[in-house]
Structure 1
């Protein structure tokens, strides 16, 4: 009970008692049943005498101002920057995690780096950022804190966003929307076998459901698919992802095929460029209007082209916009409307 005195320990919002000793966490779709004195799968929530507590409210382990394109968001306030922050641990077990030094460590309230929501928003304003973003590790774990930050951010004219694995429950998503969430980028790991084998027995359908529900709520959605060598780099898996994207989200939602590099416990070689290019071509052939490649600086498929006439509209390199040719968010050549949320921020 001593842990309850620390500022990062707060009663959780989404849980219910299942018996006299256990609670069910309703934050992510694992819906862990947690007995008294035990923690959930993510190690950020603990049951104390029938109450569930988050251990990471405002426990910030990384903080920086970053281009929105690095998330990646290419059709959401292009050219802007967001104050980006994260906390410890994760509810997935991906062995190739790029931020494993943050996601594979459990929180310690005694040593927490507490930053209040007010300080986060003040810092974003001082840094000249247009928004805030919870990223680096799974943002769902900062749920209660996100609600408070987002409400404050919206009062100060900032946009709010998540970069997520998409395993959040609908209850949590609704509360985030009500708090002012503007955008979410969801990482699709692969097909059902990929999720089950590498991510900790995850059900892929919940991830797609989250993306669809977010879009239906009016939240800006973009999808990223990290193509990992020997895991999800086969054409069958890529085609399946493209089909599910179109079925759940439609042709206008951008999809980013991102290059993997060896990290953490996974040592397969980096994704072949030709595999990424093939994924791009498959997406275009199936009718996705805005496919992109990521982690391949200078590649032509980082750019935005008019889906109707092929005109180069937005030229990018290293997460920066080098050329902006849109006029009133339309192709200057054929007048085809390009769906973008928010204004272009030239810096």
Structure 2
């Protein structure tokens, strides 16, 4: 939203700015008909003149925007919280002068738009978020400046996620006498930090719930199992073993990547989860006995796989000739991915 405000302040959109919330991750996302009607009303079209069908509404919407471009100039349309391309396509203006800014938790390449992926905040920016939020509520609040080490620890516990940082700031604002070190201790001692990051109105768990419940059975199962893998990154091979499949469950993995629940690792073929996302997935496993049993079986498969690969690697690197070729190794070069717990292979660490 800051980008939209900045664009308006710089005079890039003299025709004005429109905003519509798609409620894409609510129980009932807004339909395209309702969204186009909201924009038509914002453009000054009376309710009695709004057509009944989506095609008619979209046609009138484009006509009104074309006239606005002629009389007033370019318009910025902010489409917030979209979850599906079908919500967005009818809102595209048609006229080349206008621009549309779409925000979503999912990647929607079907729109043919420029994609800007927002990563977690840098540590120094995360500190600024906490400091600015506290000083906005109380300009003389010294807690962030007085406890730089504790503030850094708090940012790390929040995973440098803007939502988590805002909630942590709200918890401090609600208790002006609470030192940052005390909140850090509470979060560090909490078995489920995602439950502690809740200010009564916003919660990290609630935010993750919105994305999780949109997953189908296959992607949700893979999401839970991925959290069981040790180490910060997990290889394609390890994912296949966890899932209990003969080949990488690519469609399910793609769903998680598009939803930004899983991201690419340090090298191609490796994947990573944010710490808070992993904590959420592990909590989902722990909540149901059937999921715990499934997780136990998946972890046993993965550990057995690591043992087999480690034993094969050991035979491979021994100076004495092996009695037979080791599975997976054709020569004496360092075996990439031998230890694929998710950590970088041993030979790239120089050991």
- Return the TM-score normalized by structure 2: 0.23
When you count helix as a share of all residues, which structure comes out higher? 2
When you count strand as a share of all residues, which structure comes out higher? 1
Larger radius of gyration: 2
